[in-house]
Amino acid sequence: MAKYLYRLGGWIYHHRFKVIGSWFVILLALGVTLASLGSSFDENMSIPGTKSEKAMDVLNKEFPQGGNGGQIKFIFKAPKGETLDSKEVKAKIQEALKNVPKDKEVAAVTDPYQTNTVNQERKIGYADITYKKEAEKVTEASKHDAEKIATSLRKEGIQTELGGTVVLSKVEVGGISEVVGIIFAYFILAFTFASLLTAGLPIITSVIGLAIGVLCIVVGSNFTAIQSVSLSLAVMIALAVGIDYALFILSRHRQHLAEGLSIKESISRATATAGGAVVFAGVTVVIALCGLSIVNIPFLTAMGLSAGLTVFIVVLAAITLVPAVISVAGTRVSPSKANRFLGKFHSKKGQKESNAWGRMLARYPLPIILICLILGGVLSYPALHIELGLPDNGTKSTDTTERRGYDLMAEGFGEGINGPLVVVLDASTSENAQTAFVKTAEQLQKFKNVAFMTPPMPNQDGMFAIVNILPKTGPNDLETKELVNSIRDKAAQVEKTNNVKMMVTGATAVNIDISDKLADALPKFASVIVAFALLLLIIVFRSILVPLKAVLGFLLTLTATLGFVVLILQDGHFIHLFGIPKEGPILNFMPVLTTGILFGLAMDYEVFLVSRMREDYLHSGDAKKSVLTGLKHSGPVVTAAALIMIAVFASFIFAKDPMIKSMGLALAFGVLFDAFVVRMTLIPALMTLLGRSSWYFPKWLDRIIPNMDIEGEEFLKEEQKKKASKTKNVLQK
């Protein structure tokens, strides 16, 4: 691969403007396509085949009049000293509801006074707009009409908030999070390169690659089911790795310039060496993201493939657009200069091949290993009581109308109003369906966490019925999950005694099933990832212990990250420090998603750092010295890359959407722990302690395993020999 990348770098040098122009043509073409097609994201996060989904299918089939239309809920609270029954208040609410446009989208509008959806104190009530379209297909115009009505009632002194199944707060891409991340990345690059111009090059190239990736996803949403959160996830990952990959190539180019190479030769070599490592690292991240499809969960597959596509595009940008931009910059990109803080750490005379950090690790490897393991163990402990769920309106900021509406509903009707359950009763094989329904309802009433339950409501042929249950607890409470499981556990006995099949569904039950499915998928996915990592690293490093340490380090990173997010997001410690409105369960797809992403990023740093150690070990045969050399020469670049990635991920903590906020927090901490505790501390300390044993590789295995020269060192040696031979021939002539 290095041979072809070397040639590619040379070709790009001569055709730099064509390369840059091609990227802009692609960008323009996608922009025009988007303008004509628009976007069509699918917010459905269900998992076909779960118990709740099967029950939902029965519900939709047997009760077609209920429909699948989305709902916007108006939640009212009477002014102080009045009730919703006050003459003026009642008149204003009814008049406002009459103003709901009776267009093709609206199926029905309820009146809280007719449906009696007012609480006992007559202070809080609600009305529903039901649409003919599914929730995710309700137009922005309809949402705007609802918001306008709510605003008019607020002006009349009646607190009016919105809720329901229709998403009112859209996930924003291109907002403050991305800007903050880019600004931090620029300052880190400026410090690393000691040049404002050079610092801007990785950002420019990564943003162009990212923009093309984002446009591909948005255009693709018209042809396949993609959730809008996939877009933010793709931006988060691709922006971070895009800047990092450009950094690696640009750093190598500046090193070659400092060695006295010409600009063309320097670009060719940087593309062949650092470019090869970038391709390997990028492909690893793409495989990890696409590997999410093995858990067989549609929305998670869409997220992984979307992010994987964007990472693939920024890798292409790194090995083509970055060399082209460097070629245009020419001599304005200065040769590499040692950075005292990142590179030398106050290196002493006679210790040019080490820095203070490396010498400390070499001097106290065992205590440092113990400290890292204890720290990882303490951080991992909270993960033992992890609870998975899906953020709802109750986890949003109090600045949003959805959160205020959620709190009003809980205040007026109890926590369970926000997490109702629907029990579907199938008595199609019973001789007396009505009697069977009554007996079953009596048994349902006995469950301790039931706050309110409707009588069985049969369908048109009388063979099926539904029972609506309001739990005493909220949708994400453990007691609600226990109620769902208790009803399902009782189902077999009910079917035997009453000849009635009992199924639980509704949004709350669906979310519980999704969380359980994802929790079951994590060990399977993690096992595949670990096996893949071992095989991959054995091929790359031609060692047994180095890959084993790398994988164990990744597992420590994963458990520490999960423990940290449980400590913050679920247990509620320091939530205000991170701007998190309320503690709650961990986002149900976060553990699986975090596993895939952190695996890819961890392998990036492992390859960039340890490959330099291996190179020095092969030259010198001194295992301990190779660790010091690797930390001295690759450590600064890995440090800068990790800081950039942390800055980009951490910037998403400022996002309004709780899913994006929690993912940003998890990934920022995961990279922080993996880069600085595991890759830069624990792994070098272990390698120092084990010495030459780290590089032991059975000869029989060495013969059958292919040699992956990802940094292109063997190719460059051959090139140097060829040039030396040509020079010798010329001199002889």
- pLDDT tens digits, residue range 305-353? 998 999 999 999 999 999 999 999 888 777 765 444 444 444 444 456 7
Instruction: Find the mean pLDDT for residues 233-246.
Output: 85
pLDDT in tens, 474-517: 888 889 999 999 999 998 898 888 898 999 998 889 888 888 88
Task: Give the angle 144-147-152 at the CA atoms, nearest 5°.
Answer: 125
Q: Are 440 and 498 a contacting pair, CB within 8 Å?
A: yes
| Rounded-to-integer distance, Cα 107 and Cα 685, Å | 67
Confidence at residue 171, expressed as pLDDT on a 0 to 100 scale: 54
CA 425, 430, 436, 440 torsion-angle sign: negative
Q: Are 5 and 279 a contacting pair, CB within 8 Å?
A: yes
Phi, psi of 39 (to 5 degrees): -120, 155
| Rounded-to-integer distance, Cα 255 and Cα 262, Å | 12
Confidence at residue 409, expressed as pLDDT on a 0 to 100 scale: 93
pLDDT in tens, 268-302: 888 888 888 888 888 888 888 888 888 778 888 88
Residue with more model confidence, 178 or 184: 184
Can you give the length of the chain in residues? 733
Which stretch of 245-249, 395-399, 514-518 has the lowest confidence by average pLDDT?
Answer: 395-399
Distances (CA, A) of 332 to 17, 82, 326, 409, 492: 17, 72, 9, 62, 76
Confidence at residue 717, expressed as pLDDT on a 0 to 100 scale: 64
Partner residues linked to 458 by β-bridges = 465
pLDDT in tens, 37-91: 888 887 777 778 888 888 888 888 888 765 567 889 999 999 998 999 999 999 9
Distances (CA, A) of 296 to 243, 518, 592: 31, 10, 12
Confidence at residue 152, expressed as pLDDT on a 0 to 100 scale: 92
Phi, psi of 428 (to 5 degrees): -65, -20
Confidence at residue 348, expressed as pLDDT on a 0 to 100 scale: 47
Confidence at residue 725, expressed as pLDDT on a 0 to 100 scale: 65
Confidence at residue 652, expressed as pLDDT on a 0 to 100 scale: 83
> What is the value of pTM for the model shown?
0.81
Which stretch of 65-79, 431-445, 635-649 has the lowest confidence by average pLDDT?
Answer: 65-79
pLDDT in tens, 82-136: 999 999 999 999 999 988 887 678 888 899 999 889 999 999 999 999 888 877 7
Instruction: Find the mean pLDDT for residues 578-587.
Output: 85
pLDDT at 207 over 70: yes
Strand, helix or coil for residue 150: helix
| Rounded-to-integer distance, Cα 277 and Cα 271, Å | 9
Share of the chain above pLDDT 90, in %: 31
Q: Are 557 and 673 a contacting pair, CB within 8 Å?
A: yes
Share of the chain above pLDDT 70, in %: 92
Distances (CA, A) of 77 to 83, 160, 193, 261, 404: 8, 7, 58, 74, 11
CA 716, 717, 721, 722 torsion-angle sign: negative
Distances (CA, A) of 464 to 50, 450, 456, 457: 20, 22, 9, 8
Partner residues linked to 161 by β-bridges = 75
Which stretch of 155-169, 359-373, 675-689 has the lowest confidence by average pLDDT?
Answer: 155-169
The DSSP code sequence of 68-120 is ---EEEEEEEPPTT--TTSHHHHHHHHHHHHTS--SSSEEEE--HHHHT-B-T
Pair type for strands 501-505 and 159-164: unpaired
Closest by CA to 375, choosing from 689, 669, 691, is 669
CB atoms within 10 A of CB 151: 11
Residue with more model confidence, 619 or 629: 629
Confidence at residue 78, expressed as pLDDT on a 0 to 100 scale: 93
Closest by CA to 712, choosing from 349, 278, 350, is 278
Confidence at residue 613, expressed as pLDDT on a 0 to 100 scale: 85
Confidence at residue 483, expressed as pLDDT on a 0 to 100 scale: 93
pLDDT at 390 over 90: no
Q: Highest mean pLDDT range out of 90-94, 458-462, 618-622?
A: 90-94
Confidence at residue 341, expressed as pLDDT on a 0 to 100 scale: 43
| Mean of per-residue pLDDT scores for the chain | 85
